Chains A and B, each alone.
Chain A
Amino acid sequence: MALHADVGDLKAGDFDCGSPSNAPPLIEARNISKAFAAPHGEVVALRDVSFDIQRGEFVSIVGQSGCGKSTLMRIIAGLIPRSAGSLTMDGRQIDGPTGECAIVFQAPVLLPWRNTLDNILLPLEFRGVRRAGDVARARDLLQTVGLKDFANAHPYELSGGMQQRVAIARALIQDPQLILMDEPFGALDAMSREQMNQELLRIWTLAGNTVIFITHSVAEAVLLSDRVIAMSARPGTIAEIIEISLPRPRDLSVINTPEFGAYTQRLRRLLNAEGTMF
């Protein structure tokens, strides 16, 4: 698995990975705004959103429904244009899909006529760069996500959690600069969700990709992330960015520590204070 440390760029100072380093960030968002046309004038979905994402970082965006999280994700993916502001990946402005971002949606979005293996290979077919080693790599990824024996199964034969693992493998095979996850476990029951969180921690430790993870679960965000971006709604703005300095590797036991409780409490208070609607 590629660990996204570009060897050419490494300098002596870059090895303190814990804190934001001096290396240029992968994503630089400056004053992003987005307004949609609506029957009565405009609806402002995002206003003056600014943040950096470092390489190899796991960053969550939390907020209530309607705070513009998904809009923000689609803007970062280049799927929809922003109304104002600057957004760069690797120093280049994002003005459309770059092919460097893999998306994991809330629904698995697997193609039902393809088996697991062919679903994972789909992005490579789209890029037109299928090579000899691809099938072997897809099988490796199946093993990584714990579905070694399901290469020939069709999506309808898999549970919701298993389908979402396939979607994660489909993102990883693109070897993307950035993985965008839009409430990927939102449709799962509580038990599967906890299990998938643990799985994601394990997989991410192996893969080491940069991840932006969108969720409305505060606990999920704290458990998984290096930093949490808390958003408030109407219009979507950043309330605060919180660094989560819980030790890694983490597992579910971290939930019972007082530090974890302090983080979640702080985030909840923040989101409640900002969510003036309720």
Chain B
Amino acid sequence: MVESAIIDAPASTKGRILAQAVRRRPHVWLSPLVFAGLIALWWSATDVFGVPAYVLPAPEAVLGSLVAGLAKGPFDPSGFWLHTGITVWEAILGFVLGSVLGAGLGFALSHWRLLGQVSYPYIVAFQALPKVALAPLMVVWFGFGLEGKVFITAVIAFFPVLVNVIAGYQAVEPERLELARACRASEWATLSKIIVPSCLPFLFAGLSSASVLAILGAIVGEFVGARAGLGMLLMQYNQSLELAPLFAVIVILGVIGCLMNYIVTLFERRYCYWARR
């Protein structure tokens, strides 16, 4: 009945219903409007007020180089695909390595109290260190290849996961542990059936931060020395003052960051659907 009423209604009624929907959820149209406004501002700066292209490239020029770079073949080093693939691969490997080590160590340090107490000062000290400072050293140790970038990415992705798992372990409801103890559950059963699942919301919070930081790690690793990758491209375009393709690479990096974070969110929805309700 309701649907037919909408279909049969005169245009003015349809308009009113649409207007009502828009009024109820203003962010649906406000959010794209902000984006359009920023692009318009950018466009007027370059095309109307004449900001030179070596300071700020025109939006249409950035779009042009983005399309041109993506139109090249997947293994063409003058296009974007090859470099994107290399950077993403470094980021993913580093992310997985760092998260696995961070989560594993987080549980180990929480479970064996003494181990945690002994290593805690070193972890705090290492965490206070700006990890990108290690990047130049990676070139010395690993050269210009993949390993150095994976290493620096892993080091950066490691800490948010470690810290969140330790926090999650401490936040396990004491009654859940008492329940296990009253049933004389084994240590392993308590860990696998109570503690680890209880920590999942924290683990995913850590993974979410790590997924964004992983791209940062890969880019910094490429800055200090690489033969390929989006970070290397950024340095190249910067030196030759080709700002339009440089902006295009920044756009690609933004998209990669969002995608990696989104994939983590998908996993979270799949395995942690019960949390935050």
Q: Which residues of A contact B (CB under 8 A)?
A: 74, 77-79, 97-99, 101-103, 105, 107, 109, 111-113, 122-123, 125-128, 154-156, 174
Within 8 A of A (CB), among B243-277: 274-275, 277
Q: How far is the CA of A107 from the CA of B277 in the complex (A)?
A: 17
Q: Which of B64-72, B76-84, B172-180, B227-235 sits within the interface? A: B172-180
Nearest CB of chain A from residue B215's CB, rounded to whole Å: 30
Q: Which residues of B contact A (CB under 8 A)?
A: 173, 175-176, 178-186, 189, 193-194, 197, 200, 274-275, 277
- B176 to A, closest residue via Cβ: A109
Q: How far is the CA of A77 from the CA of B185 in the complex (A)?
A: 14
Q: Judging by beta carbons under 8 Å apart, are B179 and A109 in contact?
A: yes
- B190 to A, closest residue via Cβ: A126
In the complex, which residues of chain B have a beta carbon less than 8 angstroms from the beta carbon of A127?
183-185
Q: Judging by beta carbons under 8 Å apart, are A156 and B277 in contact?
A: yes
Q: How far is the CA of A174 from the CA of B193 in the complex (A)?
A: 18
Given the interface pairs A109-B173, A112-B274, A113-B274, the reply to whether A97 lies near B181 with Cβ below 8 Å is yes
Q: How far is the CA of A188 from the CA of B115 in the complex (A)?
A: 42
Q: Which of B178, B185, B186, B274 contacts A103 (CB 8 A)?
A: B178
Nearest CB of chain B from residue A138's CB, rounded to whole Å: 15
Given the interface pairs A103-B179, A111-B176, A113-B197, the reply to whether A126 lies near B185 with Cβ below 8 Å is yes
25 pairs, A vs B, C-beta closer than 8 Å? A78-B182, A79-B182, A97-B181, A97-B182, A97-B184, A99-B183, A103-B178, A103-B179, A105-B178, A105-B179, A107-B173, A107-B175, A111-B193, A112-B274, A112-B275, A113-B197, A113-B274, A125-B189, A125-B193, A126-B180, A126-B183, A126-B184, A126-B186, A127-B185, A155-B274
In the complex, which residues of chain B have a beta carbon less than 8 angstroms from the beta carbon of A128?
186, 189
Q: Which of B176, B183, B274 contacts A174 (CB 8 A)?
A: B183
- Given A99-B183, A103-B182, 8 more contacts at CB 8 Å? A79-B181, A97-B184, A99-B182, A102-B182, A105-B175, A113-B197, A126-B186, A127-B184
- A105 to B, closest residue via Cβ: B175
In the complex, which residues of chain A have a beta carbon less than 8 angstroms from the beta carbon of B179?
103, 105, 109, 122-123
In the complex, which residues of chain A have a beta carbon less than 8 angstroms from the beta carbon of B193?
111, 122, 125-126
Q: How far is the CA of A156 from the CA of B186 in the complex (A)?
A: 27
Q: How far is the CA of A97 from the CA of B178 in the complex (A)?
A: 10
Q: How far is the CA of A156 from the CA of B277 in the complex (A)?
A: 7
Nearest CB of chain A from residue B95's CB, rounded to whole Å: 24
In the complex, which residues of chain B have a beta carbon less than 8 angstroms from the beta carbon of A103?
178-179, 182
Nearest CB of chain B from residue A92's CB, rounded to whole Å: 15
Nearest CB of chain A from residue B171's CB, rounded to whole Å: 14
Q: How far is the CA of A126 from the CA of B197 in the complex (A)?
A: 15
In the complex, which residues of chain A have a beta carbon less than 8 angstroms from the beta carbon of B180?
126
Q: How far is the CA of A155 from the CA of B185 in the complex (A)?
A: 22
Q: Judging by beta carbons under 8 Å apart, are B189 and A126 in contact?
A: yes
